[in-house]
Amino acid sequence: MSLKENILRLLSDSHNKYISGESMAKSYNVSRNAVWKAVNSLRKQGYNINAVQNKGYILEGPLFTAEEIKKYINSPLDIKYISSVTSTNDVVMELGKNNEKEGIVIVSNHQSAGRGRKGRVFYSPKDTGVYFSILLRPNIHFSKALFITTAAAVSVCKACEILYNIKPDIKWVNDVYINNKKICGILTEAHIDMESMTIDYAALGIGINVFTPTDDFPENIAATAGAAFHKDDYNDNIKSQLTAKILDIFWENYKELESALFFQDYIDRSLITGKYVYIEHNGKKEKAFVKEINKDFKLCVQYENGREEIIDSGEVSIIL
């Protein structure tokens, strides 16, 4: 076992007690500097190790690292943790461009420039959210790209239901809601082979507000954004467990992506089917009744003047 692994085990078993660098150096017959380097390496992996003068080191929760996620996951995915990124999708799209293998997952504790649809910012503060992207090579026609996003939405909902008995809803096409508040955004970005019009590679990005940020949500999203869980009600491993379960469920859905076996799961959780909404599409905002979501995950609506339309993109606002 390496020095880093020994230190991690010691800190994990110390039950929130400080362990001095000197005692660790003596225990493992190394220098204090070697201990310091090992601790810094663990910090880069995502372990929240605090140091206090004359006390030593302490491992604080919640734990959210690649190693923690791997404890709970069953799928053959390659989990990589980066403590802070501009956007996990940025990293994955670059991996796709460089011909990296499908199934790499970039997980982060913070995004400085997280993205939503249409270039919007996805607020991604440190410590309170889960942000990850998966490198996919689905080899499907670009018109089926919605299948990736919708499979992910179902996966987030089912993970919350299975692990915590919380039942989220889906607002077409890519937002997950709890109690009429958005707790999760999903963004699929893809590189298209222009000759075959198939998806060469794609980044599926998922961002979840696990807990309410310390300073609450910014004013511009405070009315619509919410958190999935209350911090005091769950253990320190919730972020790792939730990430692993979402990935496991998504990977099963992804294996049969074109057959969309998850279609009914999506419909059963639809927040807007059979309701009136405002639709902003092609620069116009109109009130419409949502008749259904069809087998291609497109929105079938009827406007107040009786005109019907099938929509594959656009912004939908719920009328409460």
pLDDT at position 68 over 80: yes
What are 203's strand-pairing partners? 135, 189
Residue 272 has what pLDDT?
Answer: 96
Among 39-43, 147-151, 179-183, 286-290, the range scoring the smallest mean pLDDT is: 39-43
Residue 61 has what pLDDT?
Answer: 66
Instruction: Give 67's pLDDT tier (boundaries 50, 70, 90).
Output: confident
Question: Per-residue pLDDT tens for 190-238?
Answer: 999 999 999 999 999 999 999 999 889 999 999 999 999 988 777 778 9
Instruction: Give 265's pLDDT tier (boundaries 50, 70, 90).
Output: very high
What does the alpha-carbon distance between residue 247 and residue 73 come to, in Å, rounded to a whole number? 8
Among 49-63, 93-107, 280-294, the range scoring the smallest mean pLDDT is: 49-63
Question: Per-residue pLDDT tens for 109-144?
Answer: 999 988 877 667 899 998 899 999 999 999 899 999
Structural domains of the chain in order of their starting residue, each with its CATH number: 3-60 (1.10.10.10), 66-268 (3.30.930.10), 276-318 (2.30.30.100)
The pLDDT of 152-175, averaged and rounded, is 96
Among 49-53, 99-103, 190-194, 307-311, the range scoring the smallest mean pLDDT is: 49-53
Residue 228 has what pLDDT?
Answer: 93
Query: 129-136 and 104-108: which strand pairing?
Result: antiparallel
Q: What share of the chain is helix, strand, coil (3-state, %, to 5)?
A: 30, 30, 40
Please report, for residues 86, 121, 123, 138, 217, the alpha-carbon distance to residue 220 in angstroms, rounded to integers and kept in the order given.
Answer: 21, 11, 11, 36, 8
